[in-house]
């Protein structure tokens, strides 16, 4: 009888630990190809039960993120930022009529800020309307990335090639720590322009409540078993 209880207790604990070890992080893609008018407020995009808050900013540089709110919107090609059209003042939505309707550095550098409710790891980003501007790598459109407020890079080529279109950048190719709850993706330097169509991140998985219940049941039985042994001693 005692041996059976010991076997049952051990099995419950091992089953719980195994179930927890099988809980894996999930890759989640946020698609920004929707219809959102110009706004200086945040936009919220959902993917299943997960969400990300998105805002537009302008005025950063190679070592600091943009600090001033700018207009952000979205269309069928993804996220776009407006620094105020030809005047680059950004004082009214009507001034965006002269903007390039992209994330660019025309007049001022532009950033999109992504805020998650928990730490995530960047996996990939898909861009549209990027401009190859010839066959030379030095002429390709680049984008900037800040992990939190720390610059990761400010001149990463989206993709080599001379055609405009859709391009997906895999963040695993650059390595390093790409895990945080806040990211900035934007345009720096001269003549960079693109729209951000989607962003894929890895979100840590939360074990099911049944997993914790299984583990607690096993640990409870172990505690009861050793408590009995201590009393009998």
pTM: 0.78
**Residue 13 above 60 pLDDT?**
no
| Best CA proximity match to 221, nearest among 7, 17, 18, 1 | 7
pLDDT band at 85 (very low <50, low <70, confident <90, very high): low
Q: Are 66 and 59 in contact (CB under 8 A)?
A: yes
pLDDT in tens, 118-174: 999 999 999 998 765 555 566 678 899 999 999 999 889 887 665 667 889 999 999
CA 48 to chain centre: 15
Dihedral of the CA atoms 179, 180, 182, 188 (nearest 10)? -40
Beta strands, E only, 5-147: 26-31, 36-39, 43-47, 50-58, 68-75, 78-82, 103-104, 110-130, 142-147
pLDDT higher than threshold 90 for residue 7: no
Tokens encoding 59? 């005025």
Q: Are 83 and 77 in contact (CB under 8 A)?
A: no
């Amino acid at each position: 009888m005692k041996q059976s209880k010991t076997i049952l207790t051990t099995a419950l604990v091992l089953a719980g630990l195994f179930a927890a070890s099988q809980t894996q992080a999930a890759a989640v893609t946020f698609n920004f190809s929707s219809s959102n008018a110009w706004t200086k407020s945040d936009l919220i995009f959902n993917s299943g039960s997960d969400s990300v808050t998105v805002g537009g900013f302008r005025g950063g540089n190679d070592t600091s993120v943009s600090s001033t709110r700018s207009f952000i919107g979205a269309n069928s090609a993804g996220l776009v930022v407006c620094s105020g059209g030809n005047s680059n003042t950004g004082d009214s939505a009507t001034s965006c009529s002269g903007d390039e309707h992209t994330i660019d550095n025309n007049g001022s550098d532009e950033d999109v800020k992504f805020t998650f409710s928990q730490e995530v790891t960047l996996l990939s980003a898909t861009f549209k309307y990027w401009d190859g501007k010839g066959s030379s790598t030095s002429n390709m459109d680049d984008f900037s990335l800040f992990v939190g407020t720390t610059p990761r890079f400010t001149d990463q080529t989206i993709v080599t090639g001379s055609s405009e279109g859709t391009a997906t950048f895999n963040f695993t190719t650059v390595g390093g720590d790409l895990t945080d709850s806040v990211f900035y993706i934007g345009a720096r330097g001269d003549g960079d322009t693109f729209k951000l169509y989607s962003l894929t991140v890895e979100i840590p998985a939360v074990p099911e409540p049944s997993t914790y219940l299984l583990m607690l049941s096993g640990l409870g039985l172990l505690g009861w078993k050793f408590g009995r042994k201590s009393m009998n001693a």
